[in-house]
Copies of this chain bind each other. A is one copy, B any other.
Amino acid sequence: MTSQDADRPGPAGASRRSKITPEREREFFDAVLEQIRTCGYDAVTMEGVAASTRCSKSTLYRQWRTKPQFVAAALRSSARARFALIDTGTLAGDLREAARCAGEWSPKDATLFQALGHAVQQDRELAQALREALVDPEIAALKEILRRGVERGEVDADNPALEYVPAQIFGVLRARPVLEGCNADPDYVLRFVEAAVLPVLGLE
């Protein structure tokens, strides 16, 4: 997945010879995502990104036609699946590890969710990019963790709580800032999983 002009909306799709290296592109993407986290989506301007990366607005507008497309590209380039690496051998162990993992990226990704949460309601492409990059991979990995647990017989396949485990994990990440005014941390999510998730699955 080297960043050739594969998904870059170039003019007429002709043979672009962009001088922007992948490293340079990452600077743009990191800058805009960071500004979104700190200032909010609406407050981010092409001018601001251009200034902070010492490029010209022309460059940004040449590569990405609009701000939503620019942000969507930044999100897609940041796609990861952290939960996918988890495999401790037991469902309880996997869920605890997921809790630690979720708590760790909370300050970065949860803030991004919060900052983009309203914008995605008005821009379809942005919403799709956010889900493809940060939501769907993690949900899929979480479902895989649960599937393995069912396969090992650690939890009944018809346990109705299975369906809501992703909602519980994501929910607590997004609830704590509202309830307590601070982001979730690994310890908090871990205690939540042990107090509310594991018991309802009949673990420990």
Which residues of chain A have a CB within 8 Å of any CB of chain B?
40-43, 113-115, 117-119, 121, 127, 131, 135, 139, 160-161, 163-164, 166-168, 170-179, 181, 191-192, 194-196, 199-200
The residue on B at minimum CB distance from A183 is: B121
Q: What 8 new A-B contacts, CB under 8 Å, besides A164-B192, A199-B199?
A: A42-B43, A135-B179, A139-B179, A161-B196, A168-B175, A170-B171, A174-B174, A196-B200
Cβ B161 vs Cβ A167 within 8 A: no
Cβ A131 vs Cβ B181 within 8 A: yes
Instruction: Tell me whether chain A's interface is mostly helix, strand or loop, or mixed.
Output: helix
> What is the oligomeric copy number?
2
4 nearest interchain CB pairs? A171-B171, A42-B42, A171-B175, A160-B195
Distance from A181 Cβ to chain B, minimum over Cβ atoms (Å): 7
Residues of B within 8 A of A118 (CB): 40-41, 114-115, 117-118
The residue on B at minimum CB distance from A175 is: B171
Q: How far is the CA of A160 from the CA of B172 in the complex (A)?
A: 15
